[in-house]
Structure 1
Amino acid sequence: MTITVGLAGITGKFGHLLAKHLLRNEDVLLRGYSRNAGKVSPEISSSPRVKLFEGDAFDEAKIAPFVEGCDVVICSYLGDNKLMVDGQKKLIDACEVSNVPRYIASDWAVDYTKLQLGELFPKDPMKHVKAYLETKNTVKGVHILIGCFMDTVFSPFLGLVDVQNNTFKYWGDGTELWESTSYNNAAEFTAKVAIDSSAVGIKKYLGDSKTVKEIAAYYEKVYDIKPTLQHLGSLDELKTRMHALRAEKPAEVLSYMPFYFVYYWLNGSTAVGPNTDNGYYKDVKQETWEDYMRNRTMQQLPGVNVNFGSA
């Protein structure tokens, strides 16, 4: 039996990976929504099971035919608060009108449900969207939590790994767990969730959960280079620093936002594990920290584009 999956943000890095995994299931008919369908890669757009729709994230007239007839709609947007809240609300409203039974929100994050609004402020839109979905009668929300992306940990964004100088930097005492999942592994799990009509609510998946010292040991094992471990300070010192930077120059969001991510990721308040839904889809193999490095050269590690989404 075929299942029609709508994917908003199909041109983004994560959207592209997700589309590839979805199309590996021959029962999937895929609809893609983006501002520019010409940016969809030929390996996706050439499939006879793919139908592309163009439109703005806020264009109700264009969104309506995109979601019509879908069994599930996935949003892989990443952008400012207006896009992440109001843009998703447009999709959700259209799903409700068209009787789409499930909506997979653009989450893929630490467990933000455990936080109060304003604590990890970049994730506030997710809390608003989750609350909005709970007001709907027909469309049910699906929220996939994966910790922090491994790809992002190795990127310059968080400032934790310097591959060029073989240095792992860390806050805390080094025993904190780095709960993470690769882009690709998260896309695999999401593709399974999309075709599973029983999957609703909070779903938790992790590639691996290890301390910085364990991850550094894998780095040495895989690349035969012993990295340096650089202690940056305690978690309390990190908290003080991030609040000070925000108070000093609130408009310079990128100067302090990474510290907020790291603090709430490491302090245990947003832990996804240890109990996850990994075992529910037996054919999806977890990509561990060691697997992640074995599947990539050192030169590939810091090359991730942090902006994995697209409208």
Structure 2
Amino acid sequence: MTTTVLVAGATGDLGQRIVRELLDLDTRLRVLTRPGSSAAADLFGGEERIEVVTAAYTSSRELVEAVAGVDVVVSAVSGTRPVIVDAQRALLAAAVQAGVPRFIPSDYSSDYRSIARGSNRNFELRREFAADVDAADIRATSILGGAFADMLTGEAPVILFDRHRVLYWSSPDQVLDFTTKDDVARVTALVAVDEGAPRVVEIAGDRVTARDLAASMTEITGTPFKLQWSGTTGTLAAMSKVARRFSKSDDTFPAWQGMQYLVSMYSGQAQLRHVDNARFGDDHVWTTTRDVLAEYLSR
């Protein structure tokens, strides 16, 4: 049976990957775009299985019309409160009003449910919206995959490639969860067509420690990579609060937010506890952190 899926945030990096994976399954797609934007039409206008629909998140009527008749709404939007809370609330309300059976919120993160209050802005926005999802008359599935493994070669300042060091806070043996964007997109598509999907799906392409990362880098490069203690997670949390106080940026990923992510990971608060990769095929080869690092260094 063909599943009709609406994807919000389809023009973003992860959203495009989710659309690509959905096209490999028995689906018909709608992608939601804001009025005045041509990005979705430029990307997907030539695909006969994709319908581009336009709606403002401030218009309940337009959103209800956009989602009417779909089987599942997949949100892949990215941003801060105006997007993660406000826009998704409007999308969720429209889905409920239109009688859409299922909703996948834009989580795609580590486990935000048990983090300390005030410790991670982006996670807390997801937790706030999750309360709305739980209260809504709709079946939902949140997908948690730890940090994007792709960040190890860019946004996450954990590996100092030039200095042959791997940074850690508190303990070099804290387990860190990583999944590539492609693997997250694949699982999201499979969840979208799975009517029996649970409320939360936990996956991890790889589960490693700072010590493991140093060993992988040593093996790949032939140069010893050493561990470097950078302080405690408590000290890093304090630094992030100071940086946030003096920051004028309200971007999705300012420097202080990056510090908060590292605190959540290295403190163990955001560690995944119920990973179930087997649900999505024993034969699937997950991309490991070593794979990501090796590919990056081979360029």
Query: 2:144 is matched with which residue?
Result: 145
Give the Cα–Cα distance (whole angstroms) in 1 for the partners of residues 194 and 37 of structure 2: 27
Unaligned stretches of 5+ residues in structure 2? none
Q: Deviations over 1:216-275 (max 9, x none)?
A: 22223234443343321222322332234345x2545624221111011111112113x3
Corresponding residue for residue 303 of structure 1: none
Q: 1:230 aligns with which of 228, 231, 255?
A: 228
SS in 2 for 1:179: strand
The residue number in structure 2 matching 1:60 is 60
Give distance in 2, aligned partners of 1:47 and 1:270: 39
Residue type of the alignment partner of 2:183: N
The separation in 2 between residues aligned to 1:223 and 1:20, in whole angstroms, is: 33
What is the distance in 1 between the residues matched to 2:265 and 2:198?
Answer: 24
SS at match of 2:38: helix
Instruction: Kindly indicate whether the alpha-carbon contact (under 8 Å) linking 2:120 and 2:264 is maintained by their aligned counterparts in 1.
Output: yes
SS across alignment from 1:31: strand
Q: Residues 213 and 246 (structure 1 numbering): CA distance in 2 closer, same or farther, change over 3 Å?
A: same
- Residue 128 of structure 1: aligned partner: 128
Residue of structure 2 equivalent to 1:86: 86
Distance between the aligned counterparts of 1:189 and 1:9, measured in 2? 17
Residues of 2 paired with 1:76 and 1:19: CA distance?
10
Q: What is the identity, as a one-letter code, of the residue corresponding to 2:199?
A: G
Report if aligned partners of 1:20, 1:44 keep a CA contact under 8 Å in 2.
Answer: no
Q: Which residues of 2 match residues 37-48 of structure 1 at below 5 A? A: 38-40=38-40, 44-48=44-48
The 1:213/1:226 distance shift into structure 2, 3 A limit, reads same
Structure 2 CA distance, aligned partners of 1:271 and 1:197? Answer: 27
Give aligned pairs, total: 294
- Alignment map for 1:92-111 (pairs within 5 Å): 92-111=92-111
Quick one: structure 1 residues 135 and 183, their matched pair in 2 at CA, closer, same or farther if it must change by over 3 Å?
A: same
User: Deviation per CA, 1:152-172, whole angstroms, max 9, x where unpaired?
Assistant: 2321x3322233544422222
Q: CA deviation at 1:55?
A: 3.2
| Structure-1 separation of matches of 2:116 and 2:210 | 27
Kindly report which structure 2 residues correspond to 1:246-285, keeping only aligned pairs within 5 A, or say none: 246-247=244-245, 249=246, 251-252=248-249, 254-273=254-273, 275-282=274-281, 283-285=283-285
Q: How does 1:1-311 map to 2 (within 5 A)?
A: 1-25=1-25, 27-35=26-34, 38-40=38-40, 44-137=44-137, 139-155=138-154, 157-247=155-245, 249=246, 251-252=248-249, 254-273=254-273, 275-282=274-281, 283-294=283-294, 296-298=295-297
Change (3 A) 1:58 1:163: farther
For residue 125 of structure 1, give the secondary structure of its aligned residue in structure 2: helix
- The answer on whether the counterparts of 2:168 and 2:266 sit within 8 Å (CA) in structure 1 is no
**Within 1, Cα distance between the matches of 2:123 and 2:139?**
20
Q: Distance in 1 between matches of 2:42 and 2:162?
A: 34
Q: Is the CA contact (8 Å cut-off) linking 2:4 and 2:72 kept in structure 1?
A: yes
Change (3 A) 1:239 1:142: same
Distance 1:269 1:190 in 2: 24
Distance across 1 between alignment mates of 2:40 and 2:225? 39
Most deviating of 47-56 and 92-101: 47-56
- When residues 250 and 291 of structure 1 are mapped into structure 2, their CA distance, relative to the original with a 3 A threshold, is closer
CA contact (8 A) 1:140 1:201 kept: yes
Q: Decide which moves more: 128-137 or 104-113.
A: 128-137
Range with greater deviation from structure 2 (163-172 or 143-152): 163-172
In 2, Cα distance between the equivalents of 1:59 and 1:167? 51
Change (3 A) 1:57 1:285: farther
* 1:168-225 Cα distance to aligned partner (Å, 9 max, x none): 2222231112211111111111111111011131111111111112112222323444
Task: Structure 1 unaligned segments of length 5 or more: list them.
Answer: 301-311
Q: What is the DSSP-based 3-state SS (H/G/I as helix, E as strand, rest coil) of the residue aligned with 1:233?
A: coil
Whole-Å Cα distance in 1 between the matches of residues 198 and 100 of structure 2?
13
Alignment check: 8 A CA contact 1:17 1:184 kept: yes
TM normalised by structure 2 equals 0.90
Give yes or no for contact 2:8–2:33 (8 Å, CA) kept in 1: yes
Query: Which amino acid is 1:17 matched to?
Result: R
TM-score normalised per structure 1: 0.86
Between the aligned residues of both structures, percent identity stands at 23
